[in-house]
Amino acid sequence: MRGFDDELPDRDSLPWYVAPVPKVVEDLGLRLVWLVVGINVLGTAFGFYYYGLDPTAPGFVAELSQFALEPVAAWPVVPDSPVATLFIALAFGAWALGRQNDYLTALAFFGCLKLGAWTPFVLLAFKGDFSYLHWAMYNFLFWSHLAMVLEGFVLHRLSDFPVRAVAVALLWYGFNDIVDYFVPIVGTPHHTLIPAEEITSSGVVHTPGPHRVAAAGAVVLTLLATFLSLSTRVKKLELRLDRE
């Protein structure tokens, strides 16, 4: 089990667009890895709790929560952000225990980049529709999700992102995009609720305009995660060749 003073993995000289986080911040995050794991576990628990609530209703009642609105068969693809924070908790935890797993790391990278950026995107794109949120909750959602992006950009220290691991992550998050926006498992698309779409007791009315904006953001971010993970692999391989 890794401790604060243990040696850290080397930081390759990668282009800024695949490693934008300063080394000192990366090092601190890796040294405080168990704190990072704990925060993400708490974030996962809060996220699942949040999906069981209706944040637009007084007292956050559960009758119109997304879990209540979605058929049980769709539940595995509903809580996107909590699953992403679970992936990164598992990825960092596995590394800290000396059991680094490329598949977990790739899933964590895709999840943190995609959901970490998608949530601030929709919070800004539909800011007026989120007026029901208290300013503290709005800022909490905005900045906590951006912190997920920062976490994701530390993962190049743990993995070379082998193609097979990237393929698994792309398969999972590509599948999520399909069922969230285009071909639902059952009923209507399963993407995270956005207030720009009407929510009724019988389900969600997917207004074409907001639905397309949310879908475009998700698909672009999935493609971006694919490009950045494979770019990281290519750049690391180029560095190895240069050393030989």
Please report which confidence band the pLDDT of residue 59 belongs to, taking 50, 70 and 90 as the band edges: very low
Q: Are 43 and 74 in contact (CB under 8 A)?
A: no
Q: What is the largest CA-CA distance in the chain?
A: 64
pLDDT at 60: 43
Task: Express each pLDDT in 101-110 by its tens digit.
Answer: 999 999 999 9
Residue 6 within a domain:
no
Residue 67 within a domain:
yes
Find tokens 């498992």 and name the residue: 185
Residue 209 within a domain:
yes
Task: Express each pLDDT in 124-137 by its tens digit.
Answer: 999 988 887 888 98
Please report which confidence band the pLDDT of residue 65 belongs to, taking 50, 70 and 90 as the band edges: confident
Cα–Cα dist 208/200, whole Å: 16
- Structural domain of 105: 23-243
Task: Express each pLDDT in 139-198 by its tens digit.
Answer: 999 999 999 999 999 999 999 999 999 999 999 999 999 999 999 998 888 888 888 887
For residue 203, report the phi and psi dihedrals to the nearest 5 degrees.
145, -165
> Sign of the C-alpha dihedral, residues 132, 136, 137, 139?
positive
pLDDT at 83: 96
Residue 55 within a domain:
yes
Amino acid in the structure at residue 238: E
Both tokens assigned to 18 = 């695949």
Residue 54 within a domain:
yes
Total number of domains in the chain: 1
pLDDT at 202: 64
Both tokens assigned to 160 = 């070379």
Q: What are residue 203's DSSP bridge partners?
A: 200
Residue 1 within a domain:
no
